[in-house]
Each structure stands twice: as structure tokens, then as C-alpha cells.
Amino acid sequence: MKPKKKKSSPRKGKAKSTRRRGKTQKRSKLRRFLLLFVKLGFLGFFTFALFVSSVYLGFWGPIPSAQDLSRIEQAKATQIRSKEGELLAKIYSQNRDPLSFEEMPQHLRDALTSTEDERFYEHNGIDYRSLMRVVFKTILMGDRSAGGGSTISQQLAKNLFGRPDFSWFSMPVNKVKEIIIARRIESIYSKDEIITLYLNTVSFSENTFGIAAGSLRFFNRPPKQLKLQESAVLIGLLKANTYYNPRLNPEPALERRNTVLAQMARSEKISLAEKDSLQALPLRLSYRNLDRESPAAYFSSQVKGELQKILADKLRPDGREWQIETDGLIVTTTLEAKLHNALRNAALAHLSQLQKKFDQHWSSKNPWSSNQLFFDQKLAQTPWFKRMLTKGLSEEEIFAEAKKTRPMRLYHPGGFIEKKLSIEDSLSHYLKLLRIGSVALDPRSGAVRAWLGGSNFRYLPYDNVLAVKPTASTFKPLVYAMALENNEEPCTYLSAERQEYPGYDNWSPRNYDDKYEGYFSMTGALKKSINTVTVEWLMKYSEEELAILARKMGIENKLPEGPSIALGTGSASPLEMAIVYACFANGGFKVEPYLIEEVRSSAGDIIYRHLPKSKERVLKENTATLMNYMLQQVVKDGTAGSLSWRYGIKDEWAGKTGTSQNYADAWFVGYNDALVMSTWMGGENSLIRFRSGALGSGSAMALPVFGATIRDFKGSAYRRNQWLDLDSNQREVLACADWREANVGEKLMDLLDRIVEDPDNNEKEKGDSWWNRMFKKKKD
């Protein structure tokens, strides 16, 4: 008997039906969702593909072709180098010196790939694992510590072509561009070539581009000489080159360096033990910024001007003009680095002490206190004053504003000054700084061996080597050279008596020591720098003849009229005076100074080479030889005698000191047959000066620079013993005493000359005896 089926309750049947409908609805919703997801995915993919295609096709700006990428040319800085090859300065639009792959050490390349792209040698421009990490961690999860996904090739694309602004679309557009360019780069260049391009392109902060510039800036050495921990510092700052700048932020830079070392250990480029020992080292830099601290900034500025002239009529092999800022030229100059550095160090040390004395000398008032208009005019010429005028301020308001104090940092040869000062204080400070211009030439060729236009190019950029100043007694040798050219004898004696010159408003030159007794030979007059004798030698000839000789020897500036030109009232630059004295040193020839020996392209091809030029004879050889002997005596026991007893210089040098009126200009020109050095020191204006000869004379201000330079110079190229070779006739004509007393006949002739020149002399001296009238000194 079959069991009877139980009848289901209506309530249960209804529940089952509801569940079935629910499942059906869920499946239907899922199907619709999946269908929508597929549609959206397809639409998204289509949109993404359309977006990528628009970038690829150039709708967001052109993308460089493979042909363009195969011709990448990086701007190269032009290098200015010394005679010995030492880097002095660079000229550039971007401070970059591209290197070859072999010039980059292995540990530098390992630090780069370990930190920036650990699978660099495995991918073809895109690291998909890193890209997915960025998508999920950085974009979806907001984890900023997950790092970037750009490969070295993508970063290279960014460095080469930048990231244009497309507003909201900037990031996706530029990322897609960089991916496309990276793939093309990988298809053209090998991995090693990409590493080379990258390290030559990337910025290391402070306007330095490429590993060569970065290595020189922070460690003062080429990349090949970098230590491993130094490479880690440089690679570390690539993440954020200002924040991780080791000069500006040493603590973050040290932490970042250690992170790079840890990455290298993780990539098994270094051992854990090596990592630990290197991480324990302190951060040490050897910072060198040639833009601010070039030892030859004034010289390099002049070299740039001469280089532009040299290249004006020269073209590249492709027919284009040479570009100094981008073509990476190698300019070998005439500068001798050791001599120049000795000059620079001597000058800065001397200036530091002298400036302190000058500040004390004027501690109670300003040098222009009797001429306030001078200061006001200087203030009105400043860029700050002109900016205030453009803002609509009246002159009265500007002068009031100039008295307000604010924090300032001012340059001083003895060290920077940081305190609250006014604009007037700042201007007064810089006006009172002493200036220097010193240059050294090879008198045989004209090659410039040292050039110091001032104490600090950044704060005092005016080049005093070219500044035209009264030459004072350094001009006197030209008077004696003129006399020798006219066959006068060095042992001709002239009276030191003070005289008036009626034809020149009774002008009467004074001697430095106010002594006027006796007669001086040429040598004696030069040794003691006797003004009265020098003027008498001029009066035997003419101002015009002297001016012609001065121009022939190298002084371009027109000389003033009147017999005072014999005492150096005319003006010339230190460079011109070096040219003048070179005429004595080389036997009578005028040389043309030059700065550049050779210019080569970045590939090493010669573009220019200096060729010796024929020299014009401006003095007889005998004149030059006799002048050299007499100027040697100035150094041995004349006004420049301190070179021996103070600086211990035993070599045979010749030279002449000079001090202009009121101690406004101090000079010394020293030389032998291999070197001429001309030095001027003084203020920006003749008001700015010492008020005593003990501090402001040529022997106190300018001579010490020459003395310390030659004393401290370690080379032997300019050491000379007995460089002057006199023949028997020359020794004979020079064999006389520097000074002698007047004899009876000379005193009688002097008396008669005065009577002839002054008809009223008899009346003035009626009460005098015949003896007194003959032998007394003329009254001052």
C-alpha cells in the first residue's frame, strides 16, 4: 500500500516560490551588472585607447620621432682652463659637461639602478610591476610611500622634453608621452647608453646638470674619483634635489644617502657589512661653486669677451655659428694658476689687514665728510634708488627710506658682516672698501700670467686691471728713457734745487722729503724718486716728445698738458703700465697682451691657436738695458728696498713705486726679463684715501702685494739671478755716484741763471752779501 503524499501547506509553497523569484532576480541583476561592467570596461578601454592614440598622434603636442631621438645633443658648458689645464670657470646656459659611460664608476651606476630602477636591465622601458604597484598602492590606496613607477628611461624622457601644462590632464598626458618616448629610446639606445644619457642630463640642484657638474660642485672631483658613499649622496638627492641638497640640508641628505646604501645592499651590489660601515661614516663635502668662488673670475670675464671676438669669423663644420654657452668648447688660457693663486692670496691677506687700518683711520668721520654731494650722488645712482623712483616716491621720501635699518650681510675683506643696517650704511660701507688691480705679463710674448681685478667679483665686479688712474712716479722712467733715446748719459747730473716755472703760472714741484740739495745722476734720481730732477729732464726736451713715447710704449689715454706730466699726473691702467714696463724688460719692444692660447671643440679639434705676432721696437736696446739697470737699483736700495729686507727676495728684480697726490693712488711695478707685474691700490674715488704716506704710499700699499706674491710663489720660472748682462761700455757709462754736492762753478751758474730769469732778483737781495747770494739755497 503506497503511502499518501502529504499536502504542502500553502504558506510553504509561497515561500519557495518567493525564494526562486529572488534568486532569479539576483542572477538577473548580476547579469545586468556584469553586462554593464563589460560595457563600461569596453567603453573605458575604448576611451583609454582613444586617449592614448590622441597622445600618440600628437593631439597633445608632438612626440619626438625615433630619428629625433637618435640625434640627441645635450648642451655642454664651455670650459675655461689655465695654462696647466686647471679648470677656472665655465660659460653655459646649463652647467653640464657630458661624460662617456667609461668615465662613470660602477658603484655610481649601481647606486642609480638600485635606487631608481632595480629592474632596469630586465624591462624594455616600462616596469609593469612598478606600474601596478603605483596604481594599487599610490592611486587606489593613497599610500605615498609606495614610490614612483617611472623607469630610468621614462625619467630620461621627462628630463629631455619636460612636462608641459595641460591643466587637469597634465599628469596622464605626460605619463603616456613618457611611456611612448621611453619605448622609442629603448629601441634606439643600449642600456649603457641610456644610463649615460640619464646621468649626463639629470639635475643635481644649484643649476648643475649632469654627474660631472654635480660631482665637481659637491666633492670637487671628477666622477671617476668619487668614493662609493659620495656616489650615494649624489644619487640620493635625485629624489628631491633641493630637500636632499647636502650643503643646504645635511641631515636629510645623510639619511637619504644611507637609504641608497641600503638599497644597494638589498640589490646585492654591496655586502651588508660594507653597507653598515659606510652608513656609519659622517657626511663630508668639498664644496666648490665656480660661479661664486672662481679664483679667476675677473680674468674669466675678460676671456669670454676675447673668445667672442675670436669666434666671430669662425663656423662649425656644419656651417652654423659656434655657440659659446652650449657647444662645450675647451679654452686654454695663458693664466698660470700657481702664480695667479699666489697673487690672489697675497692680495686678499694684505687687503684684509689694510682695510682694518683704513676703517680705524676714518673711524670718526667719512672720507667724503667735506663733500656730502658726492655721497648723495652715489646713492642716487644705485639700482635701489631708481626702483624707489619707479614706485612713485619723492627724493625726500627715498632719502628718508634709505635711513631705515634692516638685516644685511655685507662683504668685507676681513670677513662678512651681518647686522641691521640702513641702505646708507651699506653704501657707505662699500664706498670705503679699498680696491686693487694687479696683472702679470710675460714681457717676451704678452701672455697674461695673472689677473686680479678686485677682491671679490660677486660684490665688487668692476675690473680695476682696466681702471685708468694717475700713474704717479711709475711714469718717471719714461722721462729718463726719453733722455737716453736722445743720447743723454746716465751719469749726467742735474740739480735737485726747487724751481718755479714762469711759463706755467710759476708752478714749482716739491720733493717727497722736501730736500733739494745737491745734484743727482739718473740712477740716483730714480732711486729716490726726485721730482725736481725729473721735471728738469723733461724741460730739456718737450711734453709732446714725451707724450709720443708714452703712446708708443702702450699708454692710450691722452696725457694732460704741462710739465707735471713728468710726475705722473697723466692716467693709465695697470694693464697699460705692465705693457710699458715690458718694453724695458724685453729690450725695447712693445707687446700686445693676450689671454687665450688655444680653443678646441668638445671633440678635441683645434678651432683657434694663438700665433706669435711681430713686435714693434719702441726703444733702443741700449736704452732698455740702461733703464733696467737703473730700475734694479730702485729695488736694491731705493724706494722699493723693502723687497729685500722685508720679503727676503734675493733675486734680481727691477721696479718702481708710485704715490699720487694726497695718497689717492698707490702703485708698484716690478719686473725681470721673464715677468712684469703691475699693481694699483686705492679707493673708488680720490676722496677715499689714507691721509699719510706711512699708510697710503706705493711702498706701503702696492709693493707688499708684489713682495708676498713672489715670496710665496713656489715655481722657479721667474727666478732670475743676474738676468741683466751689461757690456763694458754700459758698465762704464753707469759708473758714477747717485748724488754729489754742487761745486763752486755750478753754484755760480745757478746764481746767474736766477738773475737772468728774475730781473727783480737784485732788488730783492740788495742786503745780501755776494757770498750769500752765490751759495745760499733758493727760498721755498
C-alpha cell at 32: 545586468
Length in residues, the chain: 780
C-alpha cell at 540: 730739456
> Which pLDDT band holds residue 163 (cuts at 50, 70, 90)?
confident
pLDDT at 39 over 90: no
CA-angle at 560, arms to 554 and 563, nearest 5°: 105
The predicted structure's pLDDT at residue 33: 64
Identify whether the C-beta of residue 555 lies closer than 8 Å to the C-beta of residue 520: no
pLDDT at 725 over 70: yes
User: Mean pLDDT over residues 168-179, rounded?
Assistant: 80
Q: Name the residue with higher pLDDT: 541 or 39.
A: 541
CA-angle at 238, arms to 195 and 246, nearest 5°: 130
The amino acid present at 70, given as its one-letter code, is S
Q: Spell 156-183 as b/e; 16+ CB within 10 A means b.
A: bbbbbbeeeeeeeeeeebbbbbbbbbbe
The predicted structure's pLDDT at residue 34: 65
- Residue-wise pLDDT tens digits, 377-424: 999 999 999 999 999 999 999 999 999 999 999 999 999 999 999 999
> Which pLDDT band holds residue 26 (cuts at 50, 70, 90)?
low
The predicted structure's pLDDT at residue 66: 81
Q: What's 705's DSSP letter? A: H
What is the dihedral sign for C-alpha 16, 21, 22, 27? Answer: positive
The predicted structure's pLDDT at residue 777: 43
C-alpha cell at 692: 699719510
The predicted structure's pLDDT at residue 237: 93
Distance (Å, whole) CA 497 – CA 169: 92
The predicted structure's pLDDT at residue 12: 57
The predicted structure's pLDDT at residue 280: 96
> Which pLDDT band holds residue 40 (cuts at 50, 70, 90)?
low
Distance (Å, whole) CA 759 – CA 402: 62
CB atoms within 10 A of CB 42: 10
Residue 59's region, left for phi above 0, alpha for psi from -120 to 50, else beta, is alpha
pLDDT at 83 over 60: yes
- Residue-wise pLDDT tens digits, 640-667: 999 989 998 888 899 999 999 999 999 9
Q: How much of the chain, in percent, has pLDDT values that exceed 90?
A: 69
C-alpha cell at 201: 642630463
C-alpha cell at 752: 746767474
pTM (predicted TM-score): 0.82
In terms of Cβ atoms closer than 10 Å to its own Cβ (0-12, 13-18, 19+), residue 52 is middle
Q: How much of the chain, in percent, has pLDDT values that exceed 70?
A: 87
Alpha helices in 528-655 (DSSP H): 531-539, 543-553, 574-585, 621-637, 642-645
Identify whether the C-beta of residue 596 lies closer than 8 Å to the C-beta of residue 324: no
Quote the crossing angle between the two packed helices 250-266 and 228-236, to the nearest 10°: 110
What number of helices (H) and strands (E) belong to the chain?
A: 32, 21
Identify whether the C-beta of residue 181 lies closer than 8 Å to the C-beta of residue 64: yes
DSSP-based three-state secondary structure for 470: strand
Q: What's 565's DSSP letter? A: G
pLDDT at 614 over 60: yes
pLDDT at 742 over 80: no
Q: Picking from 235-239, 318-322, 376-380, 752-756, which range would have the lowest pLDDT averaged per residue?
A: 752-756
CA nearest to 574, candidates 453, 674, 484, 473:
453
CA nearest to 712, candidates 345, 241, 276, 169:
345
- Residue-wise pLDDT tens digits, 427-443: 999 999 999 999 999 99
Distance (Å, whole) CA 688 – CA 667: 16
pLDDT at 299 over 50: yes
Lookup result for grid cell 689677473: 451
CA distances from 770 to 11, 54, 518, 750, 773 (A): 167, 116, 20, 14, 5
